[in-house]
Amino acid sequence: MNHFMIKQFNGLDDATAQRLHSLGLQVGSSVQAVRFYPFHGPVIIQVDHQKIGIRYRVFKLLTGGKPL
Partner 1 sequence: MTTVALLGNPNTGKTTLFNELTDKYAYVGNWTGVTVEKKVGQIRHSHTKVIDLPGVYSLNPITKDESVVTNYLLGHSPDLILNVTNASQLKRNLLLSVEVLELGVPVIITLNMIDDLKRTGHYYNLKTLSTELGCPVRTTNARNKEGLTELKADLVRDQSEIKPNLPLKLNYPLMVNQAIRQAATSLTKDYKVEPKFAHWLAIQYINNNKVVRKYATMHQLKPLLSQKAYYDAQKFDDQIFETRLSFIEKTLASATEQLKSTQHVAITSKIDKVVTHPIFGLPIFVGIFYLMFKLSFDWIGTPLSGYLDGFLSGPISSWANQFLTQAGALPMLRSLIVNGLIAGVGGVLVFIPQIFVLFACITILEDSGYMSRAALVTDRIMEMIGLNGKAFIPLIIGFGCNVTGIMAARTIEQPKERLITTLISPFMSCSARLPIYSLFVAALFPRHQALIVLSLYFLGIVVALFMAKFYHVIFKAKEHSVFIVELPQYHIPRLDIVWHGTWDKGKGFIKKAGTIIFAGTVLIWLLSNFGVHGYVTQIDQSFAANLGQILLPVFKPIGISTWQPISALLTGVLAKEVISSSMMVLFHTSNQTALIAMIGGSFTAISAYALLVFILLYIPCFATIGTIKSETGSAKWAAYSVISSLAISYTLAFLIFQIGSLLM
* Residue in 4, 52, 60, 65 binding partner 1, rule: CB under 8 A: 52
Binding of partner 1 by 19 (CB under 8 A): yes
Closest to 56 in 3D by CA, of 41, 66, 67, 34: 41
Per DSSP (E only), the strands in 1-68 are 3-5, 30-36, 43-47, 50-54
Closer to partner 1 at the Cβ: 53 or 64?
53
Residues 25-44 close enough to bind partner 1 by CB under 8 A: 26, 35-39, 41-42, 44
Name residues whose C-beta falls within 8 Å of residue 3's C-beta, 6 or more positions apart in sequence: 30, 31, 32, 33
Q: Which residues bind partner 1 (CB under 8 A)?
A: 13, 15-16, 18-24, 26, 35-39, 41-42, 44, 48-55, 57-58
